[in-house]
Amino acid sequence: MNLRWSSDQLRRAWAIAKKDIRIYYLKGPVLIFGVFMPVFLFLAFYLGGRNLPLPFLLSGLTGMALFFTSTAVSPAIFPWEGQARTLERLAACPVTVEAIVFGDMIASVLFGIGVTAVPLFLALALGLPLLQGVVLAFAVILAAFCFSALGILLAVPPTNVPSNIMMLSSLLKFPLVFISGIFVPLEQLPAWGMALAVASPLTYFVDIVRYSLTGTHSFPVLADIGALAAFALVFTTHAMVLHRRTLPRRI
């Protein structure tokens, strides 16, 4: 088997994921930007008098929860480790760059899925029916990989200053939230807004969540899943290729 994806490399990727969860997750900044931020945005629109249906808003909260948590730490792990010189130790180990990237992604995926379960349980507790449970479970896993890969891709610039990467991440994430049909139904967007919405992977995940909870959707479900899979493949491939190029400039 190719060294890059041997069973040993997969085990090392899992070890990196466990290390990331133990060191970087459940810290103050991660909880603020990954957990509390989507909750505050949800409450701002829910209490803002816009009279949006609760199922619509809870679907958006679920989308934001997965998006923010899956991208909360993944953009900053490479800069943090470069700054702490731990990246040099990883580079000196018999582990490929692809395994390092995949390990960081696994940690983000698990964190994102765990936090996303909360708004889903809230929706069910409030009496919303789960019409497409299998579709939703598959979409959560696929979208978690997609968003995690996006976060890793944002960390490609070879800087060891985490704040620089987090600033770049915020400049991208917040516009995506507002163009992805979370707070404004896609049908109410102007033509230019719809053109932007279809370029956002978050749009397709939120559409699947709404379909799973309410039975309504803006795109065919297979198109949503296909778009998420395509984004995940593109983000993951580019993240691995570009990090292989920039890693020597970090150490």
Please check the confidence at residue 177 and state whether its pLDDT lies above 90: no
- Alpha carbon of residue 89 to chain centroid: 27
Q: Give the model's confidence band at 33: pLDDT under 50 very low, under 70 low, under 90 confident, else very high.
A: low
User: Is this structure's pTM higher than 0.85?
Assistant: yes
Cβ(197)–Cβ(186) below 8 Å: yes
Question: What is the average pLDDT value for the chain, to the nearest integer?
Answer: 86
Q: List the one residue out of 150, 168, 113 whose CA is nearest residue 237.
A: 150
Over residues 63-115, the pLDDT tens digits come to: 988 998 888 888 888 888 888 888 888 877 888 889 999 999 999 999 889 88
Please check the confidence at residue 212 and state whether its pLDDT lies above 80: yes
| Alpha helices in the chain, H assignment, sequence order | 7-24, 28-31, 37-46, 54-70, 77-84, 86-92, 97-125, 133-154, 162-179, 191-197, 201-214, 221-246
Q: List the one residue out of 68, 59, 32, 24 whose CA is nearest residue 170.
A: 68
Please check the confidence at residue 136 and state whether its pLDDT lies above 90: yes
Over residues 188-200, the pLDDT tens digits come to: 888 888 999 999 9
Arithmetic mean of pLDDT, 129-142: 93
Q: Which two tokens stand for residue 161?
A: 């200053």
pLDDT at 74: 86
Over residues 7-25, the pLDDT tens digits come to: 888 888 999 999 888 888 7
pLDDT at 1: 40
- Among 52-66, 191-205, 236-250, where is mean pLDDT lowest? 52-66
Please check the confidence at residue 62 and state whether its pLDDT lies above 70: yes
Please check the confidence at residue 53 and state whether its pLDDT lies above 60: yes
- Alpha carbon of residue 152 to chain centroid: 10
- Specify the higher pLDDT residue, 36 or 28: 36
